[in-house]
Structure 1
């Protein structure tokens, strides 16, 4: 499944908000913990970062989005210069109150501005280089942008030594990235393997990580001749096993449950829409008039035997669509019966077409098991809908096989140019995307769908493991 593009304007906003919040809170704690801390210093380490944060907000979430909407370069330049001047004046006043050196402040301020401009330029280049259609999905682009955000935040923290001390650097560049690494390690290598039942793999990754951490602290302890460092390593291992991993597992479980509920609701909505669409496509005036006209012609040519048989098949199809199509699973025999009825009616309709060759092979063996309804018929329906032309040679080949615990469908049909008057919205009753989503929901890792098409032929292979 293709990864989605992250909304990086929001990601950047939340990361910068988090960074400035840590900076301000840490500096407040440091200032309040020292009774002799001068009040003037408070402006330099607390008010100054707040002013810079407001400037970032104005530029990143007001001025730039307005430019992207209006494409007015003049306004972008004027508002950017005005914001830079106002923020520079306010932050310069804070630095002056803090008895800061003017040259050092201007060097710091313009370094921050230059850093922000360079970030925007590189972000724009990454969009042009790594976004589709150059690459098939957004995974590489997302990781490149996330790495770039971390790199530029790190440079910003190093440049901003006016209000960033060693404690903030340790928190933002060591502790938080470390915890983030272990949480990601837990999700991708521990939690997901355990969820899938790969207990052996889960244990290898868990105790392998613990062993590496312990050995690293043993080596550091031996090199510095400080045995207490090993206790620090054991404390870190205990923190991961009893605090970080269990808490993150709870979050992961809530997240998976939330996503699962969304998927179920989306599937139910899609299923309801598909049912209505299928009913519209199958029991619409066009289909009914064709079927009734065929039955009427058959009744004129012979006694009512074929007519009554066709009416019975049509009634069985309507009952199936109105009742069994609403269920999650039905006996496979009922799905096959519906398919047979559909094919019989279509053959009544097209039996006099001299340009059409139809080959149908349906397994005579009893198809055991249950299947989600309407997984087979869309591909057959598409073949009759798009594979028949009254002017050129056409063919449809259908092969349905029921094996032990699985069902296999192959459909091959000719392809003809679409009519200019054909409505592009007039697609299959259920639709390929809906069938794919239902297969992914009901038969994850238990189905194979292959679709190949060229200029003259369309091929579909579907295999579903029922047990």
Structure 2
């Protein structure tokens, strides 16, 4: 009600449809009042009171649900004016013929048609005025606009009903003019004073307002019955009270439950999306910083021991990796060849670090960087990082074997590294490395049902097989 405009075109359509349906049904059921031995114009009048409302309803549909929405889409004034005049003239001629033939009007000038058109045009102008004055940014929200426009629908509809006493009995028009706003008021009363009170746990207060509503309508008609000395108004009041309690309130409560349930589901889904995005950002941030510090330490040690050539090469690779993490790592998907380039740069830097290690054997096979497809960033590198972190010992024989392949929309990684006794001071939480659990979560987020990740270990080796079907 506050955050956006209600779907008024649909609301107007259903309310007007209900009114015309009641008018047509009442006129059809009035066939018993026709004097079959009377003049032919009585029979013509009977059909006129059926077809004229149907024609007016068709005109409303063409204007309100076809021409105006089409104009709002394409902003072409010419077709709107031409078709509007064509519909107005054609419908006026037909209604006038029915009116004269049934003696609803005595002259070719059908006044009620122009009154109805004037009411409809007045409503459209009033709606434009409300949009200009009561909608954001001139107002902080849509509550005033929605409330006043909703009331305007019933006000202009009442004016319309009071102009068609030639087509429907005036008492029916008054009943409709009274019933529609009354139903709206009952719905508002029920929502704010009964339904919401009961929903917030204030059952006694809700019951009080419900009893007050039960007494209100019968009491009003009781006063009328006492003033006129007639029991019929009292019976009408009791009937209206039963209708409110047995039909309107239960149906409206079901509608409120459904609406609030949908709102709750939307809020819950929005919350889950926000939490998922926050977790994903956090997972990325966990992955990013780890290798930078190790790589910088490696380059620092290399710079002390060697001349500038290797150091420059290492710095260049590290710079490329930093650019990757700052820019491409923040994207949902990147080219697969860029992910492979990142892995290759990482391996080259690690080989600088362990180049003189006699106990270490590293064998890696990477595909050419022309591998096609897109992949979520930082899915491959955590497996390689963990192999170097847990598979290398400066005292014992160590080995790492990496085989990375891409084939027809899939990528496959097989990795084997040696296992060494863990240091007693090592943090137990760090046992699986910085990224494997994060990788599993990201795979479930981006590629549910499209990946296979299995790990096997024995006393001396740790195996990883990972395959992924790319989008």
TM interval, short-chain normalised: 0.5 to 0.7
Q: Write the distance in 1 (CA, Å) between the matches of 2:222 and 2:16.
A: 36
Shift of 1:139: 1.1
Match runs of 1:279-318 below 5 Å = 279=280, 281-284=281-284, 288-294=287-293, 312=430
**Is contact 1:22–1:168 with CA below 8 Å preserved after alignment?**
no
1:68 counterpart residue number: 72
**Alignment check: 8 A CA contact 2:154 2:180 kept:** no
Q: Does 1:173 align with 2:185?
A: no
Task: Tell me the SS of whatever aligns to 2:73.
Answer: helix
Tell me the SS of whatever aligns to 2:103.
coil
Q: Does the 8 Å CA contact 1:221/1:227 hold for their aligned counterparts? A: yes
1:297-376 equivalences in 2 (<5 Å) = 312=430, 319=437
Check 1:55–1:239 CA distance in 2 against 1; reply closer, same or farther (3 A cut). closer
Higher relative contact order (CA 8 A, sep 6+): 1
Query: 1:278 aligns to what?
Result: 279
Structure 1: 5+ residue runs without aligned partners?
327-467
- In 1, the alpha carbon distance for the partners of 2:233 and 2:113 equals 40
- Secondary structure in structure 2 of the residue aligned to 1:100: coil
245-254 vs 72-81, greater mean Cα deviation: 245-254
Question: Which residue in the other structure is 1:54 paired with?
Answer: 58
CA 1:312/1:260 → structure 2, altered by over 3 Å: closer, same or farther?
A: same
Q: CA deviation at 1:35?
A: 6.0
> What is the deviation of 1:200?
2.2
Aligned to 2:5: 5
1: distance between equivalents of 2:156 and 2:104?
25
Shift of 1:59: 1.6
Contact 1:55 1:87 in 2 (8 A): yes
Distance in 2 between the 1:246 and 1:292 partners?
63
Deviations 1:159-178 (A, max 9, x none): 12221212431441123433
Pick from 142, 146, 151 the counterpart of residue 147 of structure 1.
151
Q: In 2, distance between residues paired with 1:259 and 1:64? A: 30
Aligned to 1:137: 141
Specify the SS of the correspondent of 2:168.
coil
Maintained 8 Å contact 1:28/1:46: yes
- How far off its partner does 1:132 sit? 0.1
Aligned residue among 41, 45, 48 for 2:45: 41
* Counterpart Cα distance in 2 of 1:217 and 1:321: 72
Distance in 2 between residues matched to 1:145 and 1:238, nearest whole Å: 30
CA distance in 2, matches of 1:273, 1:163: 57
Deviation at 1:298, TM superposition (A): 7.0
Pairwise CA RMSD of aligned residues?
A: 3.8
Identify if the C-alpha distance between structure 1 residues 217 and 74 changes in structure 2 by more than 3 Å, giving closer, same or farther: closer
Provide the rounded CA distance (Å) in 1 between the counterparts of 2:26 and 2:54.
13
Q: 1:102 to 1:63 in 2, by over 3 A?
A: farther
| Conserved? CA contact 1:40–1:98, under 8 Å | yes
Q: Which residue of 1 aligns with 2:124?
A: 120
Please say if residues 225 and 234 of structure 2, whose CA atoms lie closer than 8 Å, have aligned partners that are also in contact.
yes
CA distance in 2, matches of 1:245, 1:58: 34
Cα distance, 1:135 vs structure 2: 0.8
Structure 2 unaligned spans of 5+: 302-388, 390-422, 445-471
Deviation at 1:142, TM superposition (A): 0.8
Task: Tell me by how many angstroms 1:212 deviates.
Answer: 4.2
2:198 is aligned to: 194
Shift of 1:189: 1.1
Contact 1:95 1:105 in 2 (8 A): no
CA distance in 1, matches of 2:236, 2:154: 27
TM-score scaled by length of structure 2: 0.58
The 8 Å contact of residues 295 and 310 in structure 1, kept in 2 or not, is answered as: no
| Structure 1 residue 85 displacement after superposition | 0.8
SS in structure 1 at match of 2:110: helix
| Partner Cα separation in structure 2 for residue 145 and residue 42 of structure 1 | 35
Q: How do 1:65-464 residues align onto structure 2 when only pairs under 5 Å count?
A: 65-103=69-107, 105-213=109-217, 215-226=219-230, 233-234=237-238, 236-261=240-265, 263-264=267-268, 266-267=269-270, 271=272, 274-275=275-276, 278-279=279-280, 281-284=281-284, 288-294=287-293, 312=430, 319=437
Contact 2:157 2:177 in 1 (8 A): no
Q: How many Å separate the matches in 1 of 2:58 and 2:225?
A: 45
Contact 1:43 1:95 in 2 (8 A): no
Quote how far apart the aligned CAs of 1:209 are.
3.1
Per-residue CA deviation, residues 197-220 of structure 1 (Å, 9 max, x unaligned), is 111211221233344445534543
1:333 matched residue in structure 2: none
Aligned to 1:456: none
* Alignment of 1:17 onto 2:17: yes
Q: Alpha-carbon deviations, 1:365-393, whole Å to 9, x = none?
A: xxxxxxxxxxxxxxxxxxxxxxxxxxxxx
- Which residue of the partner structure matches residue 26 of structure 2? 26
Separation in 1 of the partners of 2:228 and 2:43? 41
CA contact (8 A) 1:3 1:138 kept: yes
Please list the CA deviations of residues 331-363 of structure 1 after superposition, one character each: whole Å capped at 9, or x if unmatched.
Answer: xxxxxxxxxxxxxxxxxxxxxxxxxxxxxxxxx
- Residue 295 of structure 1 deviates from its aligned partner by 5.0
Q: 1:70, CA displacement in angstroms?
A: 2.5
Q: Which moved more, 1:16-25 or 1:177-186?
A: 177-186
Between the two proteins, the alignment pairs up a number of residues equal to 319
1:227 shift after superposition: 6.5
Q: CA contact under 8 A between 1:20 and 1:50: conserved in structure 2?
A: yes
User: Are residues 187 and 105 of structure 1, via their aligned partners in 2, closer, same or farther at CA, if it must alter by over 3 Å?
Assistant: farther
Q: 1:397 — aligned with what?
A: none
